[in-house]
Structure 1
Amino acid sequence: MRNLGLALLYTATLALANPALADTAAAQAAVAGDMKKLTFHAEPKAAGTADFMTFEGEPLTLSQWQGKWVLVNFWATWCAPCRKEMPMLAALQTDLGGERFEVLTIATSRNPPPKMKQFFEEIGVDNLPLHRDPKSALAREMGVLGLPVTLILNPDGQEVARLTGDADWASKDARAVLTALIGADD
């Protein structure tokens, strides 16, 4: 019992010394519902460095989002679970998006821009970016093997968690996990 108490004290001290670890620990403690599919890494992992692009074809890299928490969602126009999930991601961006957090959507593989635009119009999403990874360079580098895949990057641009498959990102469970990470008020 004494060793357990010492281990908890050590973990709490370590977490308080590093706010990013404290945020991750609090988020892990908040996991429930669909968020049980969210896997937190023991240590943050390097994010991919491959270029992707804006809808118009301008080059982008994930490093451009350093300084804030980012939820990166890889999707495709032909992906049925993506169609179900995308409005929930849009609601999440509406609720939590800002200086500390952003939802970043990246269509990977062959997704013709007109189809991407039509996809968003059909599901009523107008507040998420139509970024493209047409050759799947970033997706491959990040180990995305199926769709949808959602990654959470910390402000240092490192991957701290991953969810494979769709989830209800507009749920109270998702909001609890993300607010624990980004420090937003409920």
Structure 2
Amino acid sequence: MTAKKPLGLPSLKLVLIAAVAGVVAGAAAVYVKETGSGNGMAETAATGDCQPAQAQGAALTPFAKGQVAAMAAARAPLSLETVAFKGAEGQPLTVQNFAGKTVLLNLWATWCIPCREEMPALNALQKSLGNDKFEVVAVNIDTGDDEKPKAFRSENGIDTLGYYRDSSMGVFNALKKQGLAFGLPVTLLIDGKGCLISAMNGPAAWDSDDAKGLIKAATAL
């Protein structure tokens, strides 16, 4: 477990809100403005193929506890396979590029303090559990060039996570339109077909036993 713990972990009040409303959008989230017209992704849609992922989210509810209690199961079948961003070399990617893997998709920015605090924990989670069946995909949405996100990763020892970017913030705007992103950080658990399993807004201790238990249960189903 990393020595540095995320700031603003979900309070009991927020956890209760999450249980009722399915999202945490309180003080833990850093709010951002929608910019531009998105990243050109097609509208995601609920499909019959994603019904198993919705059922999986419900089955994982007992594991959404403690440090990850704010993770809420998908309320309807939803495909996110066309959600788009870029890879380390600037190549276009979508969630579909990770087909066959359970993905923990996290959106973060260097100006978001809770994001900065949880990045070492996400790095530790990838180091501990990352394999050909699971990957933490942390997408930076800083506008401008790569200087700030790359410097942050170097200064904080983020050496296991792949480098993913979307300087247009289109990935955030696309998720916002689906009612999944209210601020930063936002984290989505997605199955190997690109379907939403569960989601949360706000930071979490992703290197905790609670988080590892949730991911292990998700990859075992």
Q: What amino acid does structure 2 have at the position aligned with 1:29?
A: P
Per-residue deviation, residues 54-75 of structure 1 (Å, max 9, x unmatched): 2331111111011110000000
Superposed, which structure 2 residues align to 1:101-112 within 5 Å? Answer: 101-112=134-145
TM-score by length of 2: 0.70
CA distance change for structure 1 residues 50 and 37 in 2, over 3 Å: closer, same or farther?
closer
CA RMSD of aligned residues (A): 2.0
Q: What amino acid does structure 2 have at the position aligned with 1:64?
A: N
User: Which 4+ residue blocks in structure 1 deviate beyond 4 angstroms?
Assistant: 18-23
Bigger share in strand? 1
Q: Larger radius of gyration, structure 1 or 2?
A: 1
Q: Are the equivalent residues in 2 in contact too, given 1:49–1:138 (CA < 8 A)? A: no
Per-residue deviation, residues 71-101 of structure 1 (Å, max 9, x unmatched): 0000011111111100100111011110111
Bigger share in helix? 1
Per-residue deviation, residues 95-125 of structure 1 (Å, max 9, x unmatched): 1110111000101141531111111112111
User: What is residue 5 of structure 1 aligned with on the other side?
Assistant: none
User: What is residue 13 of structure 2 aligned with on the other side?
Assistant: none
In the alignment, structure 1 residue 85 sits paired with structure 2 residue 81? no
TM-score by length of 1: 0.82
In the alignment, structure 1 residue 161 sits paired with structure 2 residue 198? yes
CA distance change for structure 1 residues 48 and 146 in 2, over 3 Å: closer, same or farther?
farther
In the alignment, structure 1 residue 178 sits paired with structure 2 residue 215? yes
Per-residue deviation, residues 23-75 of structure 1 (Å, max 9, x unmatched): 43442112211211111113331216243112331111111011110000000
In the alignment, structure 1 residue 34 sits paired with structure 2 residue 67? yes
Q: Which SS does the other structure have where 1:162 is aligned?
A: strand
Superposed, which structure 2 residues align to 1:1-186 within 5 Å? Answer: 23-47=56-80, 49-143=82-176, 144-183=181-220
| Unaligned runs of at least 5 residues, structure 1 | 1-17
Quote the offset at 1:22 in angstroms. Answer: 6.5
Quote the offset at 1:21 in angstroms. Answer: 6.2
Q: Which SS does the other structure have where 1:116 is aligned?
A: helix
Q: Distance in 2 between matches of 1:109 and 1:145?
A: 16
CA distance change for structure 1 residues 163 and 50 in 2, over 3 Å: closer, same or farther?
closer
Identity between Structure 1 and Structure 2 (%): 37
Q: Which SS does the other structure have where 1:138 is aligned?
A: helix
Q: Distance in 1 between matches of 2:52 and 2:79?
A: 19
CA distance change for structure 1 residues 79 and 48 in 2, over 3 Å: closer, same or farther?
farther
Q: Are the equivalent residues in 2 in contact too, given 1:24–1:180 (CA < 8 A)? A: no
CA distance change for structure 1 residues 103 and 75 in 2, over 3 Å: closer, same or farther?
same
Q: Are the equivalent residues in 1 in contact too, given 2:81–2:193 (CA < 8 A)? A: no
Of stretches 107-116 and 162-171 in structure 1, the one that deviates more from structure 2 is 107-116
Quote the offset at 1:162 in angstroms. Answer: 0.8
